[in-house]
Structure 1
């Protein structure tokens, strides 16, 4: 099947989502900070909002794939099941007695049950064996296998760059297993067997929310709280080696909760238009990274340019006169409020068509004034993990960017 993307705004054909499930019911005021959530979502309402989001995509002829369905199908492959179990039990805090019991237990459950255990986690008071020092000294509601509430944000664990899928490396301990499960799907699921891959969960940190395909051959990568300079260097070399890009823009971003990824600051809505958090737009810079030949050992050399204003550097790399910016909100105060509510974390369904949270009235008005069709969705509960429509979606297939759109 055809998979891949060369831009953020080519017509979306197939997308990977994760419908909120029992993993969100595991959040409590005691663990939500560690699990990277700002609040405790109302799960039933979050599911309703997500179902409406998925339907809005289907209404635009987008094929919607669900991560847990793909994972369950993948876990019917014995090798994938064995890897999933060993990965889940690899922590140093279980002890051999409990680990051996859980290995046997998880090896005997159905693929669907294993999917639930891997995503919703296993509490100490839910085991019926393996009793020993570890189970005795942990509280009943301590997790032996942590839940993965951030699976909702499928953008972060993989990103397609042309016909290759980049398996990312998530920085936060609470999210490490997400990429491991995603990698299992791309390795063993019949739909993706043989798909060329780059990067990987074992490499330096790069998160999908920091990766923007500005245009064919031009990729911007945010560098900050979640993606490291070493991660950008690694993935840039891989993209250059495989002719996936000619320019990578490394964009330093403030290490703040509200701007954790580059796509919380800006997203593309057309070939030459971008919605940007106006309060930081003028301070955003980029270092253009390009290939510079090879050294005596045959290793790729990189040329790293000095900092330039991000929008100028991006326009030059894209070969356009100007990358137009559309401001989040209607004034600096509203911009800050709506940026926090993911006003500029939009998902383009096509050039000049974008999904956005309905609550961000000022930002959506700005988009419509600029000629962008806004597909508004509810997000009062979905947004509790600080992520918008782009964060919640991993495009698996986009049509090539139309020359007329750039």
Structure 2
């Protein structure tokens, strides 16, 4: 099947045809224990095995008929001429948190001297000060690169393999995000260049832009149907962002008629909406067991005058989903089969974070075997992938993937 260029994503479960991944690279080897919290990591994955696990993930998708494209390749496709390349370097160095102008110039020169692929990979991996010192031919540049003991001139981007968050494909458009933390906000620069310069994607409608003032992250966006979009009010997505996204999507998209804003706990264990629940079939969802009793949702719609209306609903998640998706019944599959111990252990490694590749067919981490057994018992076809190292980043298969094209459900 030959796919058109551009974006098409109207559900969580439609047959997945094209997906964006990022194979972990040198950014993981620039993680240090002293700076893990700053870089949003709890541990340091072993790169070689993380890459092998990620390759297994990509192979699993390809064997299911999914075209896999990589972030680095799309960034390279966006560098259509020398002026675009120079602008990418300029914006990258401007956003890299380099206070010393001389060091900023040294970093720009360092990147400019590289071939395109090496340059992009270096931007992602971060730049060690020792590499700049080794290349410096002037004493002032050498001293600027030496710095004050902090080992990086530019921090790494270790969260890049979670391609779900920096931007989100919604319908035929895209939202490029203002991330919650400076550490991750730099990731969205790559999305900006892809959707401004890559010939295959530069005409994509824009629902949200990275220049906004409040945060929005892709893990909080679930496309429940061609007409219903869900967004989490979370630790990392703010209500003002949801207002703007809802206004734009509902007024400009061709299919969406309703946004459900779920108010979820503001904690790391409930980082995004897709750690709370994910859709695995038309009427089946995995779910964090701690939200089974009660949840609050704000229903956002445009009235006949194209003005936004909002109403609050409090109730059980299954009732809310059944009503707004117009289903006869909804089955919730709790992480860890509802066991306090198994759920806590498997939620830590994203047992509720599944990637649907077709209705009733999902990719999951093999380590979450209790939850996976529940999925199989519910009639879901399960593809398991290894995750001893990937899971150290605290994200599952959905977090590691951004659908670019799905069939309609």
Structure 1 residue 308: Cα displacement: 2.0
1:305 corresponds to: 311
1:65-93 per-position Cα deviation (integer Å, ceiling 9, x unaligned): 01112222323533432232122211454
Pick which of 125-134 and 235-244 moved more: 125-134
Residue pairs, 1:120-135, within 5 angstroms? 120-127=125-132, 128-129=135-136, 131=141, 134-135=144-145
- Residue number among 195, 200, 207 corresponding to 1:198 in the alignment: 207
Shift of 1:136: 4.5
The 3 A distance-change label for structure 1 pair 137 and 56 is closer
2:342 is the counterpart of 1:334: yes
Aligned residue for 1:17? 21
How do residues 1-400 of structure 1 correspond to structure 2 at under 5 angstroms? 1-2=4-5, 3-91=7-95, 93-127=98-132, 128-129=135-136, 131=141, 134-139=144-149, 142-203=151-212, 204-243=214-253, 244-294=255-305, 301-309=307-315, 310-330=317-337, 331-400=339-408
Instruction: Report the TM-score, using the length of structure 2 for normalisation.
Output: 0.92
CA contact (8 A) 1:210 1:227 kept: yes
Give 1:222 deviation, angstroms: 0.6
3-state DSSP of counterpart to 2:247: helix
| Alpha-carbon distance in 2 for matches of 1:380, 1:177 | 27
TM-score of the superposition, structure 1-length normalised? 0.93
Deviation beyond 6 Å, 4+ runs, structure 1 = none
Asked whether the equivalents of residues 88 and 145 of structure 1 are also in contact (C-alpha less than 8 Å), the reply is no
Kindly report the root-mean-square deviation, in angstroms, between the aligned alpha carbons of the 2 structures.
1.7
Structure 1 343/108 Cα, relative in aligned 2: closer, same or farther at 3 Å?
same
Question: 2:92–2:189: 8 Å Cα contact kept in structure 1?
Answer: no
8 Å Cα contact 1:348/1:354 also seen in 2: yes
What does residue 297 of structure 1 align with?
none
Report the Cα offset of residue 375 of structure 1. 0.3
What is the CA-CA distance between 1:114 and the residue it aligns to? 1.1
Q: How many residues align?
A: 395
Shift of 1:313: 2.5
1:115 alignment partner, SS class = helix
Specify the alignment match of 1:404 in structure 2.
Answer: none
Q: How many Å apart are 1:146 and its aligned residue?
A: 1.4
| Separation of aligned partners in 1, 2:312 and 2:184 | 33
Q: CA deviation at 1:133?
A: 6.2
**Over residues 38-96 of structure 1, what are the superposed CA-to-partner deviations in whole Å (9 max), with x where a residue is unaligned?**
10101111001000000000000100001112222323533432232122211454322
Distance 1:146 1:283 in 2: 41
- The CA deviation at 1:281 is 2.2
| Cα distance between partner residues in 2 of 1:156 and 1:44 | 24
Spell out, residue by residue over 1:114-142, the C-alpha distance to the aligned partner (whole angstroms, 9 max, x if none). 11221011122211336276434422x52
Equivalent position SS for 1:305: strand
